[in-house]
Amino acid sequence: MTTATAAPPLSAAEVARVGAQLTDGLARRIVGLDDVVEQVLITVLARGHALLEGVPGLAKTMLLSSVADLLDLDFSRIQFTPDLMPSDVTGSEYLVHDVDTGEREFRFAPGPVFANLVLADEINRAPPKTQAALMEAMEERQVTSLGQSRPLGDPFVVLATQNPIEQEGTYPLPVAQLDRFLFKIELTYPTFEQEMRIARLVTSREPAPVPPVLDREGFRRLADGLARMPVPDVVKEHAVRLVQATRPQSGTAPESVREYIAWGAGPRAAQSLVLAARIRAALRGREQASIGDVRALAPAVLRHRLVLTYAAEADGRGPDAVVAELLEALRPAGESTSRPRPWWRRAWDQLTQPPAVRARRAREELLRRPA
């Protein structure tokens, strides 16, 4: 009696080849957004989840459906609204009556969450109860209905979107739920050249469908190959140092973190940095991750895990600015540092600060001086 053996995971060269095919396939439909495309691919290959923030009309739905086509994955889209119920997301039970036998039984109708790639559009428009139903599925990778647990597919990836402009009638995601997202990906407007290419596509024919690069078994082999990629200890140490430096009570936290961050990132951020760096290196044809991969992905991994202080809001400092200063303060040994700002620039920044900010900083400076 023989048993079927699973196919071996893909090698590093095969992973790089598949990554190039995925990028080329997406380039046929998506104009620009190179960093966004890479981060979405990393999210899917990591079997993680991502939060995409951007104004409407930036091809978020087309990007995600194209990824599903290239990887031969089931795709579903959920439009979150204030009246959306948890059962509209996860599914519901309904009563079936057999006329011949007179028996009655409950049957489960799966909701749109039963797909490999789920687009949760405008997730912050649904009430917290509905958001919690999706978050439970993201964390547990199963849905519970009437006491029975039903596993979700493999892979199960949620890509949620939210509009940064419209805030009325929305329910912001709590920090604990934001921590479940591998990335927070920010989409910006295209450049003039990119928008010209988009305008030309309007007058052209409908783009031809892209053939799948992998089937379901190929995706699992790819994911298994990525999971076996080595990550040097020095890369892991740099990821952990970055995360620990986001906590204001840490001894390695720079001044900007102590001033502008109330709560830093948790241990899951370091795990996300290492996992994402490994996949980024593989997609770029390298056999192991580097510190550069960690630093390149740090803004997307950390920006939604930092809780800002009131001082940050008063000074107009966002999480990306704090992360940039953090990366500057924790440069690895041997890496050249950027030129310091000239004295006249620092003086101008101080003069243009609001009076309340200057007074507060003067008091803090007095408190720091030794008695």
Give one DSSP letter per residue of 7-73, joined into a string: PPPPPHHHHHHHHHHHHHHHHTT--S-HHHHHHHHHHHHTT--EEEE--TTSSHHHHHHHHHHHTT-
pLDDT at 172: 87
Domains and CATH numbers, the chain: 7-228 (3.40.50.300), 230-335+346-371 (1.10.8.80)
pLDDT at 353: 61
Q: Which of 168, 172, 169 is nearest to 160 (CA)?
A: 172
pLDDT at 368: 46
pLDDT at 371: 46
pLDDT at 57: 76
pLDDT at 144: 83
- CA torsion, ordered 326, 329, 332, 334, to nearest 10 deg: 150
pLDDT at 356: 60
Q: Is the peptide bond before 332 cis (omega within 30 degrees of 0)?
A: no
pLDDT at 95: 80
pLDDT along the chain (371 residues), means of 10: 57 79 83 86 94 83 87 92 92 79 81 93 91 90 84 92 78 89 91 83 66 86 83 94 94 90 94 95 89 96 94 89 93 58 56 61 52 46
Q: Can you give the C-alpha Rg of the chain in angstroms? A: 24
- pTM of the full predicted structure? 0.82
With the C-alpha atoms ordered 187, 189, 190, 191, is the resulting torsion angle positive or negative?
Answer: negative
CA distance 77 to 64: 10
Helix residue ranges per DSSP H, the chain? 12-27, 34-45, 60-70, 86-90, 128-140, 175-178, 192-202, 216-227, 233-244, 255-260, 267-283, 291-302, 310-315, 319-329, 343-351, 355-368
φ, ψ of residue 97 to 5 degrees: the values are: -115, 120
pLDDT at 77: 93
Contact (CB, 8 A) for 6 and 54: no
Contact (CB, 8 A) for 25 and 210: yes
pLDDT at 367: 47
